[in-house]
Chains A and B, each alone.
Chain A
Amino acid sequence: MKRFFEPSYTTWLHRANPALKLILFVALFVMTMFVHHIDASFYLACAFLLLLFVCSGYPLWKTALLTAGFALVFVSASLTMILFGKGAEIWWSFGPIHISKESFYRGLHLGFRSIAFGCQGLLFVLTSSSTGLFYALMQRLKLSPKYAYSFMASIRLLPMVGEELRIRREALAVRGAGGSSGLGGLLRLPERYALPLLAQSIRRAQRTAAAMEVKRFDAGRRRTYYYPSPVTANDAAALLLLAAAVAAAFLLARNLPVFGLGDMRMDP
């Protein structure tokens, strides 16, 4: 995991300040959410997919592997709408299923949009490290260190919880309590796993917090930072890059429409 998520080359996006980049991507997300035309969402999905492959800093096969999940995302976002959405021009219907022209294109639109969201999210994740992000949030956006270090610590704790889950599973198998026979067994499963893991983790969190405060961690006091988090020309470049991608998508949607349909939402 650790080795897998290491970019092999860096781009402007990697070198941009993570805190500003987060703001940029949240803005991008909100903007995408207000796109209601299928051509725009189609080209947005294409533009960010392209950007993802070019700028993530990962070799082609890795990016392809990561984006493979988007097929599922596309289907899950669009299928329900296609099959069960409202619409006037019915193409096909069977039982509760009504596929209408409106719902079909609305479903496709949702699918494209969720691919755009997915690409944006993945682009952010692949170009930023968690540590870098929290250092930037502390220095640039005055996030309290107690949140920043707790979140960073959770990354270190995750593999331990995974390991404990494995041990618990083996222990339950040894004791003959692992099998989920019947519905009752299935419902008790979370409890069987959650209780020991929570007990261990809560105690570990308390001890870790104590160890941190013993090392004179104090959220209220002035501190220095090991990793600087400057604002540089890279941030401007990242902004321009993203803006260019969005502008390209909108221009193409206007001048080279594939579907040529209006607002995807139902008229009230």
Chain B
Amino acid sequence: MSTQISGAGARRKGLTLTDVLVTVVVSLVLGVVYHVWSSVYSLVSVLFVQSDELVYGMWFAASTLAFLLIRKPGVALIAEIAAAHLEIAFGSAYGIQLLLYSVVQGLGAELVFAAFRYRKSSAFVAGLAGIGAAAGSLLIDIYYGYVEDYATWLLIAKYAMRAVSSFVIAGYLMYALAKLLERAGVTQSLRPVDRKEYDALND
């Protein structure tokens, strides 16, 4: 005869404080790493037009990684906004537009995850979410940068590179990172506890 106690269990359905805080720090760490990496990258890369598009996917990495770790609705959007918040708080020259970009990009990623009912967390789906976020950024670019007035070849090249980079970085790279974190035992406590674990108490 026994009684199962799970004070937190039912609450875990929505986003908890822990979920939000973890999402925010994931975004924070990736932002810091991105800044270091992109500075190295820009030294190494041969400067050709729009070459920065090749690392653009890093901007969406936080939202897919946060989702791959926590797997709940809303984290992809929060991760994007958190990244923008930190850029702004520490004096980025891009200010408010980052906030708008982040909301639209986050919604783009969120829509893809929602299309899979938040149940799929494969590298491919994460990659699609990255492309979703990239599509969001295109939407704002049209208003913000008149990109449709670029020469057609450039327009296609620019967004093809962005889509590929989003798919690879936000998808496969972040999936690999999530797997590494899993192996390191970091993610265990982020996921809801399995029912079997409770049953094991009765052994």
Contacts and interface: CB of A to CB of B under 8 A. Distances in A.
Q: Do the two chains touch directly in the complex (Cβ atoms below 8 Å apart)?
A: yes
B144 A208 contact: no
B173 interface: yes
Interface string A163-203: 00100000000000000100000100111011101110111
Interface residues of A, number: 71
Given A201-B26, A205-B24, 17 more contacts: A69-B93, A85-B146, A106-B149, A110-B145, A118-B95, A146-B15, A147-B20, A150-B24, A153-B24, A154-B82, A157-B25, A186-B41, A202-B25, A202-B26, A206-B21, A209-B16, A210-B18
Interface in B150-178: 150-154, 173, 176-177
Chain B binding surface, main DSSP class: helix
Contacts of B96: 25-26, 29, 117, 120-121, 124
Contacts of A206: 18, 21-22, 189-190
B25 A154 contact: yes
Nearest to B50: A80
Interface residues of B, number: 64
B131 interface: no
Interface string B12-33: 0001111011111111111011
Contacts of A205: 18, 21-22, 24-25
Contact of A73 (B15, B94, B154, B190): B94
A225 to B, nearest CB: 18
A244 interface: no
Nearest to A196: B184
Interface in A64-120: 66, 69-70, 72-73, 77, 80-81, 84-86, 96, 98, 103, 106, 110, 117-118, 120
Interface string B39-53: 011001000011000
A240 interface: no
A150 B21 contact: yes
B7 to A, nearest CB: 11
Interface in B83-110: 85-86, 88-100
A189 B37 contact: yes
A199 to B, nearest CB: 5
A186 B190 contact: no
B34 to A, nearest CB: 8
25 contacts: A29-B97, A34-B143, A66-B91, A72-B93, A80-B49, A84-B49, A98-B151, A117-B97, A121-B88, A121-B93, A122-B95, A130-B89, A155-B86, A161-B25, A197-B29, A198-B177, A198-B186, A199-B181, A199-B184, A206-B22, A209-B18, A213-B17, A265-B149, A266-B148, A266-B149
